[in-house]
Amino acid sequence: MHLDLSEFTARQARPLRVKMDEFQRERRLKHLIFASQLELEHLNRLQRLADIIRQLSKTKKGSDALRSLLSHKRAMLYFTQPSTRTFLSFMAACQILGLTCNEVRDPATSSEMKRESPLDSIRMFSSYFDVIIMRSPVAGFSECCAYLMNDLEKHEMRSVPIINAGSGSEEHPTQALLDIYTIQRTFQFDSANGTTAGRLPDLSKKFPGLTPGLNNKTYLFCGDLGRGRTVRSLATTLTNYQNVRMFFVSPDHEKLKLDLALRKRLESAGVEFHEFDSLDATWQSQPILALTDCLYMTRIQMEHNSAADSAAMNEMDLSPYHLSAARLEKLRDYAPILHPFPRDSVVQEIPTFVDADPRAMYFRQARNGMWVRAALLVHLFDVADQLLFLHSDFYGV
């Protein structure tokens, strides 16, 4: 059938809104390729499923029951780009639900070394496995794999869901899922999830207008905004919420600043956003950090640099993008600090002393990835009703 990615170029070039339906099955996700697929209804549903999985996992009986949900399914983790958290949390998510998983992490160990096309590899995986979870340095590759699966389905051949676990510097929709889930839990005010638990009455005296959930908030993104796929996917997903304002802080370098595509996406979603070149910047005479409800730090992704970029960035003063003690002091006293990780241990955009701050949410954020990725698998395999049944059986709710 398809041997080479160029056969999909025309389909890829279509506007997102036109192709979106091809990744859905009615209201349910069929593949997860783009963050724009994640509508409020999906986000709420997945968060609810993640909460249930988290609760059931607390006991042996609950964990055993969860493991029976998808014990008849197998997952392929095809990760040809470095990954620690995304890979391991997907693997843990599979284990929670009883899926068997296998992995290919280095194409040098696969038949691609014998000049097999990556699309043939994908089709082979779909012969043995029931879902393909993939990370690739090639932007658009997972999208092409989803088209391949759709074409196979059209010809009544075996086809499986594709999950994009990071494509080039373009998209990372499941990271957006776990980021949103973490923010939602933080602003629930009644959970045991750190900074805000039980504090709404006090906090809203000091910060009138503070409400539960993700609406009515200012989100500050800092670091490599141009090449950070997590920034692009989270900012896109946040456009689902009401009265959201975004601050973007990055060095004034073409590769690191907000890119045109995201800027246009935010403009067309009617989101208010502002760009700055330091965490010390002010907006309407107030420090931006003092106006921030949620801080999203990222590392500068040096691995994408050309020789010229490296030369320019080595000269750059990156200190305006570090979370120093003085800056931490200015940040609102409930504002969660997120980072997709890895953080750069040399540059230290978040120094390790911040880890002890109750607002540091990044380790919880990474763990949330496991629950919400398990929820995504439950959704894709359409076993949410079975999960809800299990839950009501255990807890009578």
Q: Rounded to the nearest whole angstrom, what is the least distance from the CB of residue 33 to ligand NCD in the complex?
A: 15
Looking at 86, 193, 236, 365, which residue binds ligand NCD (CB under 6 A)? Answer: 86
Query: Is the backbone of residue 46 left (phi > 0), alpha (psi -120 to 50) or beta?
Result: alpha
In the complex with ligand NCD, which residue's Cβ is closer, 219 or 334? 219
**Residues touching ligand NCD: how many (CB under 6 A)?**
11
Q: Rounded to the nearest whole angstrom, what is the least distance from the CB of residue 376 to ligand NCD in the complex?
A: 15
Q: Which of 356, 358, 363, 352 is nearest to 333 (CA)?
A: 358
Binding pattern for the stretch 183-212 against ligand NCD, x by CB under 6 A and - elsewhere: ------------------------------
Q: Which of 237, 179, 226, 198 is nearest to 34 (CA)?
A: 237
Q: Which two tokens stand for residue 4?
A: 């080479």
| 232 forms part of the interface with ligand NCD (CB under 6 A) | no
- Give residue 57's identity as a one-letter amino acid code: S
Q: Enumerate residues 363-392 that contact ligand NCD by CB under 6 A.
A: none
| 89 forms part of the interface with ligand NCD (CB under 6 A) | no
Binding pattern for the stretch 292-331 against ligand NCD, x by CB under 6 A and - elsewhere: -------x-x------------------------------
Helix, coil or strand: residue 313: helix
In the complex with ligand NCD, which residue's Cβ is closer, 318 or 388? 318
Q: Where are the alpha helices (DSSP H) in 135-199?
A: 141-154, 173-186
In the complex with ligand NCD, which residue's Cβ is closer, 118 or 173? 173
In the complex with ligand NCD, which residue's Cβ is closer, 288 or 297? 297
| 332 forms part of the interface with ligand NCD (CB under 6 A) | no
Q: Which two tokens stand for residue 104?
A: 């290919």
Q: Which two tokens stand for residue 177?
A: 């899922």
Q: Measured between alpha carbons, how far is 333 from 298 in angstroms, rounded to an integer?
A: 20
Q: Measured between alpha carbons, how far is 31 from 264 in angstroms, rounded to an integer?
A: 25
| 85 forms part of the interface with ligand NCD (CB under 6 A) | yes
| 175 forms part of the interface with ligand NCD (CB under 6 A) | yes
Looking at 23, 34, 276, 341, which residue binds ligand NCD (CB under 6 A)? Answer: 341
Q: Rounded to the nearest whole angstrom, what is the least distance from the CB of residue 229 to ligand NCD in the complex?
A: 5
Looking at 140, 161, 166, 320, which residue binds ligand NCD (CB under 6 A)? Answer: 166
Looking at 73, 217, 229, 255, which residue binds ligand NCD (CB under 6 A)? Answer: 229
Q: Which two tokens stand for residue 304?
A: 């994408």
| 136 forms part of the interface with ligand NCD (CB under 6 A) | no
Hey, CA dihedral for 249, 252, 255, 261, is it positive or negative? positive
Q: Rounded to the nearest whole angstrom, what is the least distance from the CB of residue 158 to ligand NCD in the complex?
A: 29
In the complex with ligand NCD, which residue's Cβ is closer, 86 or 368? 86
Q: Which two tokens stand for residue 384?
A: 């949410």
CB 186 within 8 A of CB 193: yes
Tokens 């160990």: give the residue.
Answer: 109
Cα angle 165, 168, 171; round to 5? 55
CB 162 within 8 A of CB 149: yes
Binding site for ligand NCD (CB under 6 A): 85-86, 166, 172, 175, 229-230, 299, 301, 340-341
